[in-house]
Amino acid sequence: MTTKEAILKILEAEKKAMTYKEVYQGIVDEKYNPWSATAKTPSDTVGAVLGDFIRNNDTRVNRVKGSRGFEYYLSKYENEIDIESIVTGKKGATKEQKNTFQERDLHRLLTTYVHKDIYTKTVRHERSANGKDANQKWTHPDIIGVQFRQLKTTASQNLIRLVDKNQAFDLYSYELKKEIKTDNELKKYFFQAVSNSSWANYGYLVAYEILPKLHSEMKRLTASFGIGIIQLKANPHESTILFPARYHELDFDTIDKLCHINDDFSEFIKRTETYLDANTKHQEGAHSQLEKLCDKPLADEAAISKFQQLKGLLEE
């Protein structure tokens, strides 16, 4: 990888204006290191190559001069960057100031994102036995989900229930966070997700803000432990599975324990079981009862926009 290619990767990932030193640090964090081992001032090399983009009229990169010197960005993201605040030094409201939403508000976004295939239910920690115990955060997930095997005929659906009910569905576990901005936060939240998802077929750590520089470590952790990672967006349909979860067999002993601990969890498992056990005559009613219990997705774009405004979510 050349220095120019590394610079473009960092600017693409960050989608903001950056000084040459910030771009250099991003390259180091991602371990691209395109310069030779003998390079004495690699940060200056990054600065020189950034300058070459401008001098050579390479329209992919643009720059603006502010109080920190020149800041560089990809031209295609110019409309998303507050150029005026860089020039004047008067910063507008930051994401942290504008985003006044609560962690549980993200549940609605996740439900909307996965709703096409997966039924989800918030597991309220306060409904757990000893619900005020901090250890409950390391016991069960924020959201439980179920995905049913989509077979085309009623006959085949009934057959798989008789042959092996476990093959008729997959259970999902989701641990949600507002942001993951440091390596320490990533490790803490990831292993919380590992702890809370040990019983499920698929476990995910979900966050609204994730720094791109953490992606390499996320990839390593996912490969080692099988927990996937999802980045939510203000418009949930633009959310992304950064790293898919790996399949695990269900741990029925832990499922039984969680059913004893938390009523939300127990009720969701009961409704899922009722639907799986229902004969053709009663399937529709069982399905309706499961849907009634589950979290409700945002119905359309108008509902999404209203929810964004109500919760102080920024459009990405």
What is the full DSSP assignment across 17-69?
-B-HHHHHHHHHHTT---S-TT-S-HHHHHHHHHHHHHHTT-TTEEEEEETTE
- Are both 23 and 79 inside the same structural domain? yes
pLDDT at position 152 = 47
Are 247 and 118 members of one domain? yes
Q: In this predicted model, what pLDDT tens digit does every residue of 218-249 receive, in sequence order?
A: 999 999 999 999 999 999 999 999 999 999 99
Do 29 and 156 lie in one domain? The reply is no
pTM listed for this prediction:
0.65
More confident residue, 191 or 97: 191
Q: Is residue 97 part of a domain?
A: no
73 touches 18 (CB < 8 A): yes
Amino acid at 95: K
The pLDDT score that the predictor gives to residue 84 is: 76
Q: Determine the Cα–Cα distance for residues 116 and 269; give it in Å rounded to an integer.
A: 20
Answer whether 34's CB lies under 8 Å from 1's CB. Answer: yes
Among 7-21, 56-70, 138-152, which is the least confidently predicted range? 138-152
Per the domain annotation, does 255 fall within a domain?
yes
Does a structural domain hold residue 173?
yes
Instruction: Please count the other Cβ atoms lying within 10 Å of the Cβ belonging to residue 121.
Output: 22
What long-range pairs does 125-131 form, CB within 8 A, spacing at least 24? 125/262, 127/262, 127/263, 127/264, 128/261, 128/262, 129/260, 129/261, 129/262
Judge whether residue 202 has pLDDT over 90.
yes
13, 75: one domain: yes
The answer to whether position 315 is within a domain reads no
Does a structural domain hold residue 316?
no
Number of domains composing the chain: 2
- Is the same domain home to 254 and 114? yes
* Domain end marker among 48, 71, 92: 92
Q: What does the pLDDT read at residue 203?
A: 97
Burial call 65-83: b when 16+ CB within 10 Å, e when fewer: ebeeebbbbbeeeeeebee
On whether both 84 and 166 belong to a single domain, the answer is: no
Q: Kindly state whether residues 139 and 279 are assigned to the same domain.
A: yes
Nearest to 265 by CA among 257, 274, 275, 277: 257
pLDDT at position 39? 67
In a shared domain, residues 39 and 80:
yes
List, for residues 16-26, the tens digit of each pLDDT value.
899 999 999 98
Residue 138 lies in a domain: yes
106-115 per-position pLDDT tens digit: 999 999 999 9
Domain's final residue, options 36, 66, 92: 92
For residue 157, the model assigns a pLDDT of 56
Is the separation of the CB atoms in 46 and 3 below 8 Å? yes
Q: From 91, 87, 43, 46, select the one nearest 65 (Cα to Cα).
A: 87
- Residue of 293 and 166 predicted with greater confidence: 293
Question: How would residue 151 be classed by pLDDT, with cut points 50, 70 and 90?
Answer: very low
**Which segment of 25-34, 87-96, 188-197 scores lowest on mean pLDDT?**
87-96
3-state secondary structure of 181: coil
Residue 114 vs residues 206, 227, 262: alpha-carbon distances, Å = 12, 17, 23
Instruction: Report if residue 221 sits inside a domain.
Output: yes
Query: Quick check: is 203 in a domain?
Result: yes
Whether residue 148 is found in the same domain as residue 208:
yes
Is residue 163 located within the same domain as residue 262? yes
**Residue 48 is part of a domain; what is its CATH number?**
1.10.10.10
**Maximum CA pair distance of the chain?**
76
3-state secondary structure 263-297: HHHHHHHHHHHHHHHCCCCCHHHHHHHHHHHCCCC
pLDDT digits (tens, 9 = 90+) for 44-80: 999 999 999 998 988 899 998 888 889 999 988 887 7
* Segment (H or E) for 207: strand 202-210
The C-alpha atoms of residue 128 and residue 134 are separated, in whole angstroms, by 11
- Distances in Å between the Cα of 33 and the Cα atoms of 5, 39, 309 are 11, 10, 42
153 and 41 belong to one structural domain: no
Domain final position from 68, 92, 116: 92
Q: Are residues 187 and 151 in the same domain?
A: yes
Query: Got the DSSP string for 218-248?
Result: HHHHHHHH--EEEE--SSGGG-EEEEPPPP-
Domain that holds residue 31: 3-92
Distances (CA, A) of 215 to 3, 90, 97, 208, 229: 20, 31, 25, 14, 10
* pLDDT for the residue numbered 134: 44
